[in-house]
Chains A and B, each alone.
Chain A
Amino acid sequence: MNFVNSLGIVFALFGAVLAALLPGIGSAKGVGATGQAAAGVVTEDPSKFGKVLVLQLLPGTQGIYGLLIAFIALSQIGILGGAAQSISAAKGLLYLCACLPMAFVGYQSAIHQGKAAVASIGLVAKRPDQFGKSMIFPAMVETYAILALLVSILSIVGIGNLKI
């Protein structure tokens, strides 16, 4: 039983790492794809740089949300700042679960937000006056990343107060 319980912190760290890992990969893909589209637009019209840059950044937020969850988890389990407490296996698994919404939703939504942002870059290339609307389409996708972020934050903070 001691051995199983000693794995608690491993589970928790695994969760934190997943939260940083998957959305980070997703955001890299999304920002990469939009970057290519944005560069194409700028070759034709350098004055659109500011607008397409904003659109390129949109799928980048998931990576940051992931970092955020990882950070909150790391400081809750005491790896960052303060002595690492011993965490029971159950609690470790709970942390792992709490990180999953951000990890998976962040990964997928970043990729799909990237696709929507590529389309929006196409929109801005043809009709720069529709920039306001073009931002909304990718932002719709981000809603789900934000919801996942919210669930992950609430869970991690909540788990910290549990006594198991």
Chain B
Amino acid sequence: MAVQQIKYIRLCGLKKDRKKILERLQFLGAVEVSDLHLQEDDIFKKSNLAASCSLFSQNVKEAKEALDILNREIPEKKPIFASLEGKRQATPKQYEAFCTRHDETVDRAKQIRMLSDEISQARADILKMEMQAESLKPWFSLDVPLDFTGTETVSAFIGAVPEEWTQESIYDFLARNAPQCGPTAAEIISAGPEQTCLFLLAEKEDCAEVESALAAAGFVRPSVQSDRPPKEQAGLLQKEISEKKEFIEQKQAEIRNFAAFRSDLQFLSDYDSMRYDKYGVIGRLVQTKRVFLLCGYVPAEKSAPLEEELTRDFDIAIEFSDPAEDNDVPVLLKNNGFAAPVEGVLESFSLPGKGEIDPSFIMAGFYYFLFGMMLGDAAYGIIMTLVCGILLHKYKNMAVTTHKTLRMFFFCGISTAFWGFMFGSFFGDAVSVIGSTFFHAAVTLPPIWFEPLNKPMKLLIFCFLVGIIHLFTGLGISFYQSWRAGKYKDAICDVVFWYMLVGGLIVLLLSTKMMVSMFDLTFIVPAPVGKTAGYIAAVGAVGIILTGGRSSRNPVKRILKGLYSLYNITGYLSDILSYSRLLALGLATSVIASVVNKMAAMAGGGIGGIVGAVIFIVVFLVGHIMNILINLLGAYVHTNRLQYVEFFGKFYSGGGRKFTPFSADSSTQYYQFREENKS
């Protein structure tokens, strides 16, 4: 349970080993590389590798695109819990071996993309041709090509005019608008309310007159032109379309042939991602003609094996030192199996800042405890524990964060089951409902402790007690942190006085008759003890008034500030009251579960027999699944809140930066590299 000690590492190696050393570091994943702020001069230089980097990212993009295309053609078969399976295992040997296949795989990726480009081109062509064929339809009965303009003596007009026309109305129109022109022959190819397709012949010398008359009627020539009669042209288009479709199928089959290389493409994506990251690190190194210098952070416990591993194979100078005070040292947590699962919760608040302890272990105990109280149903807890346990057992390689989350819910499940039995809730009151509905027997699952709905006040008091312990633990950690840092005055003023004030007030309240009768307590604190507690509280209060504003020099200001910090007692009151949510959410789970049971019993119990039992089971399952999900969410959110706001508010502000080592794992997506001979 601690923040790991981090060492500053300086590594100097020969340039000829640079690639090998960095590869080894990448597989080991123990070092976070940091920039060395050194002015470049004639001797020390940084290399610019933007060109190689862009090539790698190009390859990664190409590989991912090819995988996308491949997945569209033949979707990868994935089991339901595929996301839990984690990355596939691979060894550094495989990484080296891939080098020989790298270029051909890039070529394959390019081929796949080109095939896909051809397919989309063909698809666009098909669409274009289909539209052409569609626009030819009104012209099907025309037996000359659409670009037919006439003979030596006759001009032909082929085109469409808006709205519906008949042969007579055309002649009529021409007679009125082109009175000078000679004989014409009009043929309606097709007519509809939108447009009329027209074939009109006129003598060549009348061409201009007829044309201007037609233009007045809104005559336009067809948008598609062809040198074949429309029907024949359409047939030709259809043939081309089917050819293109065949072409597409053929290309799709070609793409499908690449399915065997899917894992190679995935490897390529990871391989070049790793190279990209490696070159990024090389760009940050300081180099001379023959040597390079790498600086960074490494967890203290990994420094010795790292040194041994590197000096065995390479000629290097390696040096570890304690990081300087003003260094931005990254934070890495180390916890046992019980506390590590809540690291994720801690991390999503903030990692411990300078001088702060890692609260994971203390937090873990409270986390499971509070979560269990809020969900508080034995059956739900058992289901959670089983589901998480089975998943954890079945999928060994899942991502670390997923693994932690599942383990957290595993422990929360155990606690939930515990509190469920304490309060006698098993799917709410399912035991007695099923007993009375189907077996006419009065079976009950008696609570080990007591039934909350019968004695809500008792549970409320218990919740406040839990809250006080939780808050006082937080204050205790604050005391420890100040004491460890040598700030004894802060430890006394900010913690001990508050302990005296809040603790004293609580004992004082418990000695009054009013409180005892209000909360239905079975005991009363004897008056002398209450009186003493009152004095202790008063000393605490005076202490806070005198020291709360110790940062100000002005004595008046100091006392005013002290009074203001005494006002913070309302904060403690609301913090403690906040734990009443343990009662409310716990009751919510069991009462809604009872509602579900009642509905199921009303629906199924009335009918009885097999049908009734089936209806009962359906309502029961649907209702309880919904209840589990909603209350799980509620318990999760509110446990987090109690930790973040009430608990952390007392001692923790965070602000640490996460240790992000230079590792293969952070760059890859599909594979995880492990040395064969090590675990």
Residues of A within 8 A of B (CB): 54, 57-58, 60-61, 64-65, 67-68, 71-72, 80-81, 129-133, 135-136, 139-140, 142-143, 146-147, 149-150, 153-154, 157
Known: A132-B345, A135-B637, A136-B641. A71 touches B578 (CB 8 A): no
Show 25 residue pairs from A and B whose CB-CB distance is below 8 angstroms, ordered by the A residue: A57-B633, A60-B630, A64-B588, A65-B588, A67-B595, A68-B588, A68-B595, A81-B598, A129-B348, A132-B345, A132-B347, A132-B640, A132-B644, A133-B348, A133-B349, A139-B640, A140-B641, A142-B637, A146-B585, A147-B577, A147-B580, A149-B588, A150-B581, A150-B584, A154-B456
For window 589-621 of chain B, which residues contact chain A by CB distance below 8 Å? 591-592, 594-595, 598
Q: Is the CB of B345 within 8 A of A64?
A: no
- Among residues of A, the one whose C-beta sits closest to the C-beta of B585 is A146
Q: Is the CB of A80 within 8 A of B578?
A: no
Instruction: Please tell me which one of the listed residues B580, B598, B630, B641 contacts residue A61 in the complex, with CB atoms under 8 A apart.
Output: B630
For window 70-92 of chain B, which residues contact chain A by CB distance below 8 Å? none
Interface: B645 (CB within 8 A): yes
Instruction: Please tell me which one of the listed residues A54, A61, A67, A154 contacts residue B457 in the complex, with CB atoms under 8 A apart.
Output: A154
Which A residues are in CB contact (< 8 Å) with B29? none
Which B residues are in CB contact (< 8 Å) with A147? 577, 580, 584
Shortest Cβ distance from B138 into chain A, in angstroms? 41
Instruction: Please tell me which one of the listed residues A61, A81, A132 contacts residue B634 in the complex, with CB atoms under 8 A apart.
Output: A61
Q: Is the CB of A136 within 8 A of B592?
A: no
Which B residues are in CB contact (< 8 Å) with A72? 591
Which A residues are in CB contact (< 8 Å) with B584? 65, 146-147, 149-150, 153
One digit per residue, 1 when the CB lies within 8 angstroms of any chain A CB and 0 when it does not, for chain B 560-587 equals 0000000000000000011011011101
Which B residues are in CB contact (< 8 Å) with A132? 345, 347-349, 640, 644
Interface: B622 (CB within 8 A): no
Instruction: Please tell me which one of the listed residues A54, A67, A153 contacts residue B592 in the complex, with CB atoms under 8 A apart.
Output: A67
Known: A65-B588, A68-B591. A80 touches B598 (CB 8 A): yes
Per the bound structure, the CA–CA distance linking A130 and B350 in Å amounts to 10
One digit per residue, 1 when the CB lies within 8 angstroms of any chain A CB and 0 when it does not, for chain B 644-658 equals 110000000000000
- Main secondary structure on A side of the interface with B: helix
Q: Is the CB of B640 within 8 A of A135?
A: yes
Given A57-B630, A139-B638, A149-B588, 10 further pairs, Cβ under 8 A: A64-B630, A68-B592, A132-B644, A133-B348, A133-B349, A136-B645, A146-B581, A147-B580, A150-B584, A157-B456
Shortest Cβ distance from B300 into chain A, in angstroms? 27
- Among residues of A, the one whose C-beta sits closest to the C-beta of B642 is A139
Interface: B114 (CB within 8 A): no
Shortest Cβ distance from B322 into chain A, in angstroms? 30
Q: Is the CB of B585 within 8 A of A71?
A: no
Per the bound structure, the CA–CA distance linking A146 and B456 in Å amounts to 15
Total contacts A to B, CB within 8 angstroms?
81
Which A residues are in CB contact (< 8 Å) with B595? 67-68, 71
Per the bound structure, the CA–CA distance linking A64 and B347 in Å amounts to 31
Instruction: Please tell me which one of the listed residues B347, B583, B634, B645 contacts residue A150 in the complex, with CB atoms under 8 A apart.
Output: B583
Q: Is the CB of B580 within 8 A of A131?
A: no
Interface: B362 (CB within 8 A): no
- Among residues of A, the one whose C-beta sits closest to the C-beta of B633 is A57
Per the bound structure, the CA–CA distance linking A61 and B629 in Å amounts to 12
Shortest Cβ distance from B306 into chain A, in angstroms? 29
Which A residues are in CB contact (< 8 Å) with B345? 132
Q: Is the CB of B641 within 8 A of A139?
A: yes
Which B residues are in CB contact (< 8 Å) with A136? 637, 640-641, 644-645
Per the bound structure, the CA–CA distance linking A135 and B642 in Å amounts to 12
Shortest Cβ distance from B438 into chain A, in angstroms? 16
- Among residues of B, the one whose C-beta sits closest to the C-beta of A148 is B584
One digit per residue, 1 when the CB lies within 8 angstroms of any chain A CB and 0 when it does not, for chain B 146-167 equals 0000000000000000000000
Known: A136-B645, A150-B584, A154-B457. A131 touches B637 (CB 8 A): no
Which B residues are in CB contact (< 8 Å) with A68? 587-588, 591-592, 595
- Among residues of A, the one whose C-beta sits closest to the C-beta of B634 is A61
Shortest Cβ distance from A150 into chain B, in angstroms? 5
Shortest Cβ distance from B149 into chain A, in angstroms? 53
Q: Is the CB of B587 within 8 A of A153?
A: yes
Per the bound structure, the CA–CA distance linking A157 and B11 in Å amounts to 71
Per the bound structure, the CA–CA distance linking A150 and B581 in Å amounts to 8
Per the bound structure, the CA–CA distance linking A67 and B623 in Å amounts to 14
B345, B584, B645: most-surrounded residue (chain A CB, <10 A):
B584
- Among residues of A, the one whose C-beta sits closest to the C-beta of B638 is A139
Which A residues are in CB contact (< 8 Å) with B630? 57, 60-61, 64
Which B residues are in CB contact (< 8 Å) with A61? 630, 634
Which A residues are in CB contact (< 8 Å) with B581? 143, 146, 150
Per the bound structure, the CA–CA distance linking A143 and B584 in Å amounts to 10
Q: Is the CB of A131 within 8 A of B588?
A: no
Instruction: Please tell me which one of the listed residues A57, A64, A143 contacts residue B578 in the complex, with CB atoms under 8 A apart.
Output: A143
Per the bound structure, the CA–CA distance linking A72 and B412 in Å amounts to 28
Per the bound structure, the CA–CA distance linking A145 and B583 in Å amounts to 13
Q: Is the CB of B598 within 8 A of A157?
A: no
Which B residues are in CB contact (< 8 Å) with A81? 598
